């Protein structure tokens, strides 16, 4: 992945836009395209960001799915049946619908938590991990937290900053895995930084092996872009 180029482009877009925390207007049912927000099952189109194994309802990897190897390639597009519902508080995996009147309502495609992982049902008793899904009906899937791997770009360790953009003494070694739970562009910086869960330590996206999945934006805050 050409991470540095994407960091600069993404950071510039975020810096130029207005970002604010808002409540979701649940009366706005203008969620678009192939699916309408509903408590009933509807047709949903998924696009993957990674090859995905197929699992059963207990989280056990299947050997066969529909008579073939239980592996769905990244290039494949899936059409499934699922429930899409509006949310007022971010779910572990969620997405934003169509922009209407300055508001982009948030939704979630219902998933199942098995042990410590989250799965979407794809029918025929098969499940795939939510983290392997890139888009739902063309809308980018987001998460409230994600796991990343440290890979310092310049030095042997990755330095950290606090929310004020001040460098701290905390560092992380190459290969360390961290759970992150927020995304921001800190003061006096022009690239994304991610907050290490449970701390005020922020690591630069440039010191990560790759962007978090399913999306480079990780946050539990409900956002609106004007």
Whether 30 and 121 share a structural domain:
yes
Query: Which residue, 78, 111, 143, sits at the end of a domain?
Result: 143
Region 107-118: mean pLDDT is 96
Whether 133 and 160 share a structural domain:
no
Write down the pLDDT at residue 223.
66
pTM score, whole prediction? 0.81
Whether 76 and 159 share a structural domain:
no
Whether 13 and 75 share a structural domain:
no
Tokens standing for 94? Answer: 């969620």
% the chain with pLDDT above 70:
81
Whether 11 and 99 share a structural domain:
no
Whether 13 and 83 share a structural domain:
no
Is the per-residue pLDDT at 37 higher than 90?
Answer: no
Write down the pLDDT at residue 221.
85
Whether 168 and 77 share a structural domain:
no
Biggest CA–CA distance in the chain, Å, is 56
Tell me how many domains the chain contains: 2
Task: Give the number of other CB atoms < 10 A from CB of residue 220.
Answer: 15
71-72/52-53 β-pairing: antiparallel
Whether 90 and 129 share a structural domain:
yes
Domain hosting residue 178, numbered range:
3-17+146-225
Tokens standing for 222? Answer: 């409900």
Helices (H) and strands (E) in the chain, counts: 1, 23
DSSP 131: G
Write down the pLDDT at residue 168.
98
Q: Which helix H or strand E contains 109, and what residues bound it?
A: strand 106-109
Whether 95 and 167 share a structural domain:
no
CA dihedral 133, 213, 225, 195 (to 10 degrees): 150
DSSP 26-61: TT-----SS----SS-EEEEEEESS-EE-B-TTSPB
Q: Give me the residues paired with residue 81 across strands.
A: 43
Whether 94 and 161 share a structural domain:
no
Structure confidence by residue, pLDDT tens digits, 149-207: 999 999 999 999 999 999 999 999 999 999 999 999 999 999 999 999 999 999 999 99
Region 199-220: mean pLDDT is 94
Query: Which residue, 143, 169, 185, sits at the end of a domain?
Result: 143
Write down the pLDDT at residue 224.
55
75: CB partners within 8 A, 6+ apart: none
Region 55-71: mean pLDDT is 97
Region 57-66: mean pLDDT is 97
SS3 content of the chain, % helix, strand, coil (to 5): 10, 45, 50
Q: Whole-angstrom Cα distance, residue 205 to residue 148?
A: 10
- Residue 115 CA to its chain's centroid (Å): 19
Whether 110 and 156 share a structural domain:
no
Whether 51 and 128 share a structural domain:
yes
Query: Which residue, 113, 143, 173, sits at the end of a domain?
Result: 143
Write down the pLDDT at residue 84.
96
């Amino acid at each position: 992945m050409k991470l540095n180029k994407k960091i600069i482009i993404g950071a510039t877009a975020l810096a130029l836009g207005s970002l604010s925390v808002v409540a979701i207007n649940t009366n706005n049912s203008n969620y678009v395209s192939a699916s309408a927000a509903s408590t009933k099952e509807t047709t949903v189109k998924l696009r993957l960001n990674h090859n995905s194994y197929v699992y059963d309802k207990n989280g056990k990897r299947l050997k066969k799915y529909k008579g073939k190897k239980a592996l769905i390639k990244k290039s494949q597009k899936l059409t499934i049946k699922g429930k899409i519902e509006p949310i007022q508080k971010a779910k572990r995996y969620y997405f934003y619908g169509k922009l209407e009147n300055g508001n982009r309502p948030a939704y979630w495609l219902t998933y199942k938590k098995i042990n410590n992982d989250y799965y979407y049902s794809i029918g025929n008793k098969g499940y795939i991990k939510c983290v392997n899904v890139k888009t739902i009906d063309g809308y980018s899937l987001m998460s409230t937290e994600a796991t990343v791997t440290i890979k310092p770009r310049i030095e042997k360790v990755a330095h950290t900053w606090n929310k004020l953009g001040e460098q701290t003494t905390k560092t992380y070694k190459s290969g360390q895995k961290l759970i992150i739970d927020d995304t921001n562009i800190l003061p006096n910086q022009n690239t994304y930084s991610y907050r290490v869960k449970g701390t005020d330590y922020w690591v630069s996206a440039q010191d990560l092996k790759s962007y978090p999945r399913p999306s480079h934006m990780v946050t539990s805050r409900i956002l609106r872009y004007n």
